[in-house]
Amino acid sequence: MTVRVRFAPSPTGFLHVGGARTALFNWLYARRAGGTFLLRVEDTDRARSRPEHTQAILDGLAWLGLDADEGPVFQADGVERHRRDALKLLDQGAAYRCFCTAEELAARREEAKRAGAGYGYDGRCGRLDAAVSDARAAAGEPFAVRVRAPEEAIEWEDMIHGTMSFPAGSIDDFIILRSDGTPVYNLAVVSDDAEAGMNHVIRGDDHLSNTPKQILLYRALGRPLPAFGHVPLILGSDGKRLSKRHGAMSVLAYRDEGYLPAGMVNFLALLGWSPGDDREVFDVGGLIEAFSIGRVLKKSAVFDLEKLGWLNGRHIADAPAVELAGAVVEILGREAREEGRDLSETHPGLDSSPERLARIIDLVKGRPRTLSALARQVSPFFAATIRYDEDAVKRFWKRPEEAAFHLRRLAERLAGEAAFRDVQTLESEVRGLAAELEVGAGRVINPLRVALMGQGVSPGIFEVLEAMGRERTLARVLAAARALDAWIATA
């Protein structure tokens, strides 16, 4: 049997973490089994469905790399088939007309509430004589269609939870076709899944209560049951259902925040799934190879934004520099435009020196956790002007006369082209100056770092010097010395 699975989002909102995780598990299951992954947009709620939400869902899946083998198909296109299936059950006697109005049902529900009892539909319209039901319908009286729920337990073997059982009497006769002729969710889903030949349905735990109703519909329609798997929900750090207050956003918002699709996919996979060993960092190929629905955990996963950052940082560190360069140029270019300037003004040479940019990205990519942070690390190497971080200045330029003196001596020592022959030579020159001045190397290196990068942390300073180059290094060192002179004069 060829595995056929689907992801069926509703376009009433954007693609969020929970939906993206469900899509990923279905996609991995299909790819691992050599099966088919179908995308179905469940757009029958016309009042709340929006084309922009549909597009955002498609864009989010595309960004994550979750390509569909079939679709997207749209649930609204199957409405006539849904109605035919409902009327088929009515003709078979597996369903019946319900003439109860919304007002009557609300009154009975309120009466049960006052009596302190739970309300369930009592099946009264199901006991109407067939001739009476036919006559009322023929007279134009509005009716919904309800399925007869059998008085027996409904069980299935869940791919994740094992044996699941709903006891006899726990399900009322439920509506499958409203009085306006529109199908109800459970009927539409069963009709669509049966028509598309879905043989595995993997979805969230919030659908558990729908499953016994859908099993009844599969049986009544004479269609084969798929295997069901219900993935536990994702919780926030406080144990409550995941929401924006926990840091959860739409998938595309994570893209805009500077996360890599590989990092996001890795993170989503580990939300409720374990490979069975200590591995945490996976590329997509590794996830496909390792994925097993049997290793999806039964308990809810906890959304950990810190872990997402760590994983994303690992993927940035592992990515080839040439694959990161475009994002760095785009981010710094956008920031320049927000200032009303061109990238060539704020970061001259950034987009015209691909080899140098790649070399610098390789130098700094081990630390940042997002592409935005990576761009900030790259920025000082190309920036037309350097802003000196206040904390770094207080810490490493706290002796301004000494710092200015050391920087000018460094400029003299590094003026010759021979000093920039390689990293080892640069280290020898800098440490040699410290030895001449009879000070610890840090008294020279730390002011130099602030002069070059504007901040108190950086990759190895000698690698920074090599990447910065002789001309830019000398210009920044002397500019820092002049800034220190100005501060001394106004002190």
Average pLDDT taken over every residue of the chain? 94
Q: Looking at residue 48, what is its pLDDT?
A: 82
What string of H, E and C letters represents the secondary structure of the chain?
A: CCCEEEECCCCCCCCEHHHHHHHHHHHHHHHHHCCEEEEEECCCCCCCCCHHHHHHHHHHHHHHCCCCCEEEEEHHHHHHHHHHHHHHHHHHCCEEEECCCHHHHHHHHHHHHHCCCCCCCCCHHHHCCHHHHHHHHHCCCCCEEEECCCCCCEEEEECCCEEEEECCCCCCCEEEECCCCCECHHHHHHHHHHHHCCCEEEEEHHHCCCHHHHHHHHHHHCCCCCEEEEECCEECCCCCECCHHHCCCEHHHHHHCCCCHHHHHHHHHCCCECCCCCCCCCCHHHHHHHCCHHHECCCCEECCHHHHHHHHHHHHHHCCHHHHHHHHHHHHHHHHHHCCCCHHHHCCCHHHCHHHHHHHHHHHCCCCCCHHHHHHHHHHHHCCCCCCCHHHHHHHCCCHHHHHHHHHHHHHHCCCHHHHCCHHHHHHHHHHHHHHHCCCCHHHHHHHHHHHHCCCCCCCHHHHHHHHCHHHHHHHHHHHHHHHHHHHHHC
Based on the fold, state whether residues 401 and 466 are members of the same structural domain.
yes
Based on the fold, state whether residues 480 and 411 are members of the same structural domain.
yes
Q: Looking at residue 327, what is its pLDDT?
A: 96
pLDDT category of residue 243 using cuts at 50, 70 and 90: confident
Tell me the C-alpha distance between 255 and 453, whole Å.
27
Q: Looking at residue 351, what is its pLDDT?
A: 87
Read off the CATH number of the domain in which 304 is found: 3.40.50.620
Based on the fold, state whether residues 189 and 216 are members of the same structural domain.
yes
* 64-88 average pLDDT score: 97
* 386-404 average pLDDT score: 95
Q: Looking at residue 24, what is its pLDDT?
A: 98
Among 64-68, 143-147, 351-355, 438-442, the minimum mean pLDDT is found in 351-355
- Please check the confidence at residue 297 and state whether its pLDDT lies above 90: yes
Structural domains of the chain, count: 4
Neighbours of 144 (CB within 10 A): 24
Picking from 382, 400, 423, the residue at the C-terminal end of a domain is: 382
Q: Looking at residue 333, what is its pLDDT?
A: 96
* 450-475 average pLDDT score: 94
- Please check the confidence at residue 235 and state whether its pLDDT lies above 80: yes
Domain range for residue 371? 319-382
404-458 residue pLDDT tens? 999 999 999 999 999 999 999 999 999 999 999 999 999 999 999 999 999 999 9
Neighbours of 276 (CB within 10 A): 10
Q: Looking at residue 242, what is its pLDDT?
A: 82
Comparing CA positions, the residue from 350, 291, 358 lying closest to residue 319 is: 358
Based on the fold, state whether residues 86 and 226 are members of the same structural domain.
yes
Q: 116: burial class by Cβ within 10 Å (0-12, 13-18, 19+)?
A: exposed
Based on the fold, state whether residues 178 and 225 are members of the same structural domain.
yes
- What is the chain's length? 491
* Residue 88 annotated to the active site: no
Based on the fold, state whether residues 220 and 102 are members of the same structural domain.
yes
pLDDT category of residue 163 using cuts at 50, 70 and 90: very high
Among 115-124, 166-175, 327-336, 481-490, the minimum mean pLDDT is found in 115-124
Based on the fold, state whether residues 398 and 459 are members of the same structural domain.
yes
238, two tokens:
């406080």
Based on the fold, state whether residues 81 and 209 are members of the same structural domain.
yes
* 228-240 average pLDDT score: 91
Based on the fold, state whether residues 39 and 61 are members of the same structural domain.
yes
* 143-155 average pLDDT score: 94
Q: Looking at residue 286, what is its pLDDT?
A: 97
Model pTM score = 0.91
Picking from 179, 205, 231, the residue at the C-terminal end of a domain is: 231
- Please check the confidence at residue 46 and state whether its pLDDT lies above 90: no
152, two tokens:
């027996």
Based on the fold, state whether residues 146 and 226 are members of the same structural domain.
yes
Based on the fold, state whether residues 219 and 105 are members of the same structural domain.
yes
Picking from 199, 231, 263, the residue at the C-terminal end of a domain is: 231
Per the residue annotation, which of 244, 298, 394, 398 is the catalytic one?
244
* 383-410 average pLDDT score: 95
**CB-based contact 183:45 (threshold 8 Å):** no
Based on the fold, state whether residues 441 and 401 are members of the same structural domain.
yes
- Please check the confidence at residue 238 and state whether its pLDDT lies above 90: no
Read off the CATH number of the domain in which 439 is found: 1.10.10.350
- Please check the confidence at residue 384 and state whether its pLDDT lies above 90: yes
